[in-house]
Amino acid sequence: MTDSQILEKQKLATKINRERFDHANEERHRLKPDPGLREEVVRLISSEKNEPDWMLEHRLKCLNIFEKIPMPSWGPNLDKLDLNKIHFYMSPDAERNSKTWDDVPEDIKNTFEKLGIPEAEQKSLAGVGAQYESDVVYHNLKKEWETQGVVFLDMDVGVQEYPELVKKHFMTKCIPPSLHKFAALHGAVWSGGTFLYIPEGVKVDMPLQAYFRMNSEAGGQFEHTLLIADKNSEFHYIEGCSAPKYDAYSLHAGGVEIFINEGAKGRYSSVENWSKTTFNLNTKRGLVEKNGTLEWVNGNMGSCVTMLYPSSLLIGRGARSDYLGIAFASGDQNQDTGSKMYHLAPNTSSTITAKSISKGGGVTSYRGYLGISKGAVDSKASVQCDALLVDDISVSNTYPYMKINEDAVDVAHEASVGKISSDDIFYLMSRGLNEIEAKKMIVSGFIEPIVKELPLEYAVELNRLIEMEMEGSIG
């Protein structure tokens, strides 16, 4: 097969594969208020979900905070995000929390089938939640985990069925509404998401997954994920997300709160593939108690702008957190990502490994924070960020910040930026690869540490997405 035939085949495969993400269904909503953020919209969301008074009070408090905090003046430009044009609540014409896919409307079910969710559920998952617009349309947990006391619910249902547990954890210690403007926005208009509780000593050896899908133009999605691992328990939770590409901009401002109790271990993995007309302004934070472990594995592909910095607060002696992330930016994309680690107790440890790829004028930035408080003796921290530039018109930035208030600690930081070497390409081409294949192999090797930590389906998806983005990078 000639190089041109190979390229044509790859382009065709790209069109077929990308349709999984870029297709859009005809809009059918049960309820869709006019765009713009108003108190009546916040009250409507709370009323729709029949929430207790304390949650409505929380929403209104967050709205008040949101109105007082200015837009971020640092990082990527957000001027094209007009909140007056965003629909903050869109309830699809579908039953909530169906237990069988047969009860999900055909067009919505087909969307999730294209994304491979029902198939993955059958093969390798302990439970699945599927959110479409502002509502969870499907949610199910396998019986074997129900009998062990695992709670895996739509967050809206969690508020109703576990009010005291939710009230104790929801945007209190982990993501306070005053953290930043979009945390406050999230607290005011959140809808759907995941509530997960793993009882003491229970180790869920199969991943649990949630997938969040936006369908409508100028939509907003604000799911809330609350994960609680009790003492000496374990879980692996996976999130995926996508949206069609429209001319109008959309907004994703979800919230993830993770509580790792003493001796527990949790892994949070996500591959975010929002369309290139979506602003992805997500907030993810975790609290780690004594001898607990929290792992973050993140792949950021889509969106026009991403601002995302998964953060761990190591509050117990011996707590540990590891972050492993990849960001890919092509033309008209600005991926501003990284991680934040707060060492607040002795003998805590953390690692940050961040990789980025820029092509076609795309901008990637590592923005991280490492803080070691006074008294957090014998703590260890390592930060490594590596950037790969595919061409001469792309940009990579590094903005590390460290605040070390203790002497008896071990801290290391390493950063590198490099271009794809013409010598490496020449060597691979001398072994029978064409130029496109050689570049893809170099990129695959670069992201391999992240890919091998993802579940198989997501590893395949991340590789496929990057291969699609690499098309056209020659020349």
- CA angle, 264 as apex, 283 and 268 as ends, to 5°? 35
Six-digit token string for 70:
């200015």
The domain ranges of the chain are 3-470
Q: How far apart are CA 89 and CA 256, in angstroms?
A: 19
Q: How far apart are CA 302 and CA 276, in angstroms?
A: 6
DSSP H/E element including 187: helix 181-189
Q: How far apart are CA 94 and CA 91, in angstroms?
A: 8
* β partners of residue 384: 353, 414
> What string of pLDDT tens digits covers the 475 residues of the chain?
444 443 343 333 333 344 556 677 888 999 999 999 999 999 999 999 999 999 999 999 999 999 999 999 999 999 999 999 999 999 999 999 999 999 999 999 999 998 888 988 888 899 999 999 999 999 999 999 999 999 999 999 999 999 999 999 999 999 999 999 999 999 999 999 999 999 999 999 999 999 999 999 999 999 999 999 999 999 999 998 888 888 899 999 999 999 999 999 999 999 888 889 999 999 999 999 999 999 999 988 889 999 999 999 999 999 999 999 999 998 889 999 999 999 999 999 999 999 999 988 999 999 999 999 999 999 999 999 999 898 889 999 999 999 999 999 999 988 887 777 677 777 777 877 777 677 777 777 777 777 777 765 666 666 666 665 665 443 3
3-state helix, strand, coil in the chain (%, to 5): 30, 35, 35
Q: What is the DSSP letter of 386?
A: E
Q: How far apart are CA 428 and CA 422, in angstroms?
A: 10
In DSSP notation, 38-68 reads -HHHHHHHHHHTT--HHHHHHHHHHHHHHHH
Structure confidence at residue 17 (pLDDT): 46
Q: How far apart are CA 224 and CA 283, in angstroms?
A: 10
pTM (2 d.p.): 0.91
Q: For helices 53-68 and 39-48, give the axis angle rounded to 10 degrees.
A: 150
